[in-house]
Amino acid sequence: MIDDFLTGDLSDVEEAVRKAAAAEIVPRYRRLAAHEVDEKTGPHDLVTIADRCAEEHLTASLTALLPGSVVVGEEAVHADPAVADALHGDAPVWIVDPVDGTRQFVHGEPGFCTLVALALRGEVLASWTYAPVLDELAVAVRGRGARLGGTPLRSGSPEPGAVLRVAMSHPDYTTPEQKRALLGLAVPGVEARPCGSAGLEYLAVARGDLDAVAFSWELAWDHAAGLLLVTEAGGAHLTVTGEPFRIAGANDLPFTAARDEATARRVRELLT
């Protein structure tokens, strides 16, 4: 079933992602009322009516496209952590982050996106990264490459001797222990900055505009789509123990995704 779906016309998924953003996210961009923004775990962890409504929209449309599939969405898991158990099951799983970069969305900035990935038994098979305000849609299918607006993505490699550009976990979202681990990037030859939307940082790596990311958390909806995008563009990802990142969790953190294997190994060494 899943093989037939993946070899078929996936434009229906793209249309579902675009429709959810057009119906639930874009009309609220720069029009949010105060009561439409809430805190989840703290002042830096925000959720809006757009997050909730877009996830509901995608849950209905995506499961209709692939009967028997289930959805693991950021907001559903926040309401009921047991929803995430589906990542370990045998049903195809849509992994959804309705608004990745909610803080940017709340502040009226364009740097946010909708992330959708399709996985089975812990393996990401396809992904969609859609930035509606920037009008950018990147699609990756395992073994078939990655595209941005129909154009193939190639991450390439950093120029020899060039300063390595790395986006890392934002200080607002890191514990003291995580900050200490990321201090490994504070060395000559590395230019590290706090990340924005994780999905858009992954896209920057896949298109060769950023050399690597280094993240200290493992929420599947933040990483599944982007990791496949980077991999299919020619990049690689590693945890601090040298193993690939697992979307179902239990990773040794932090981890990196980079434009090529050599860069991933270099960043990993700095993080250990």
> Does the reported pTM lie above 0.85?
yes
Write the pLDDT tens digit of every residue in 178-220: 888 899 999 999 999 999 999 999 999 999 999 999 999 999 9
Q: Which residues of the chain have pLDDT under 50?
A: none
Asked if residues 146 and 233 have their Cβ atoms less than 8 Å apart, the reply is yes
Task: Give the C-alpha separation, 5 to 170, whole Å.
Answer: 37
Asked if residues 201 and 213 have their Cβ atoms less than 8 Å apart, the reply is yes
- Single-letter amino acid code for the residue at 147: R
Closest alpha carbon to 116 in 99, 136, 91, 134? 99
pLDDT of residue 216: 95
pLDDT of residue 172: 79
Task: Give the C-alpha separation, 255 to 222, whole Å.
Answer: 13
Residue with tokens 């995608």: 58
Residue with tokens 């209709």: 64
- Single-letter amino acid code for the residue at 4: D
Signed CA dihedral, 74, 80, 85, 90: sign only: negative
pLDDT of residue 45: 82
> Which class for 122: exposed (0-12), middle (13-18), buried (19 or more C-beta within 10 A)?
middle
- Single-letter amino acid code for the residue at 129: T
pLDDT of residue 185: 96
